Amino acid sequence: MAKLEQLDQKVVWITGASSGLGKALAAECASLGAQVILTARRFEELETVRQSLAHPERHISIKADITDESQVRHAYEQVLQQKGRIDWLINNAGLSQRALIKDTTMQTERAIMEVDYFSQVFLTKTVLPTFQQQKSGRIAFISSVAGLLGTQYRASYSAAKGAIHMWANSLRAEVAQDGVGVSVIFPGFVKTNVSFNALNGEGKPQGYQDEAIENGLEAEEFAKQTVQALLKGDEYIVVGGAKEKLGVFISRLSPAILYRMIRKMKVK
């Protein structure tokens, strides 16, 4: 059995760290001794999260909009200047959707793809030389069970999350010889504010909580399961309830059965 990786004093960079899954992942990593780099657009919220973590003095908040390439480059320079290395990069920042295809503008389609795919590609390409020089480290992407299955009201989101999964698979094959690991996490329904911020067809936040999200896995439990899987070096990580895991299983067993099930599902 491979030796379990340790996080003590490792540098973990998490995007979308001001709330939700990112905040929970930061808390879990900090509790295991990591030095956490928190990145999001809202500095005050990042600082609130940093102060709540174990050993707050170890961690740093770096404000950046991950869709702005110059801000991403500057954030990367700050990380290296202050920490000198990156052991884990967790591409978590994301944007969800709650709209039928016929009601979704092309501007909204592109906005979701920009956040959930292109920005993660750019950040990863920016930091990749550091991982390759170190000959170590792990790059993780928060995809979604929706990126494996595709459901109503989430077409653009499912497409973007599926795209980052495939891109990560290619990256894994290319950097394996450099000692760099690549993991993709597929959350099911997790209780966060993601549905409040999910875009409707016109590109505006939905503004209310979905029933499925409200009844989902606690963010802290998601973070615990995810970090343990990353420490084991897992590459394909599904974290969710029984229904989501069953859906993923059936998607491999019989896509036709899955598609019939999805048509009957209540997903909004």
| Residue 56 structural domain | 11-264
Known catalytic residue at 157: yes
**What pLDDT shows up at residue 232?**
97
Query: Structural domain tally of the chain?
Result: 1
Contacts 24+ apart (CB under 8 A), 46-55: 46/17, 46/18, 49/17, 49/18, 49/19, 49/23, 52/27, 53/26, 53/27, 54/27, 54/30, 55/30
pTM equals 0.91
pLDDT at 255: 81
pLDDT digits (tens, 9 = 90+) for 167-197: 999 999 999 999 999 999 999 888 776 667 7
Task: Find the length of the chain.
Answer: 268
- Dihedral sign of CA atoms 142, 172, 237, 138 in order: negative
Is 5 within the bounds of a domain?
no
Q: Is residue 3 situated within a structural domain?
A: no
Residue 210 has a pLDDT of 60
Residues 108-118: tens digit of each pLDDT: 999 999 999 99
Whether 50 is covered by a domain: the verdict is yes
Q: Which of 76, 157, 208, 259 is catalytic?
A: 157
Q: What is the pLDDT of residue 135?
A: 97
User: Is there a domain that residue 6 lies in?
Assistant: no
The domain that holds 21 is classified in CATH as 3.40.50.720
Largest CA distance in the chain: 52
Q: Do the domain assignments include residue 2?
A: no
Does 236 reside within a domain? yes
In a domain, 4, yes or no: no
| pLDDT number for residue 2 | 45
Q: What is the dihedral of CA 170, 173, 176, 177, to 10 degrees?
A: -120
Q: Which residues of the chain have pLDDT under 50?
A: 1-2
- Neighbouring CB atoms inside 10 A of 46's CB total 26
Q: Is residue 1 part of a domain?
A: no
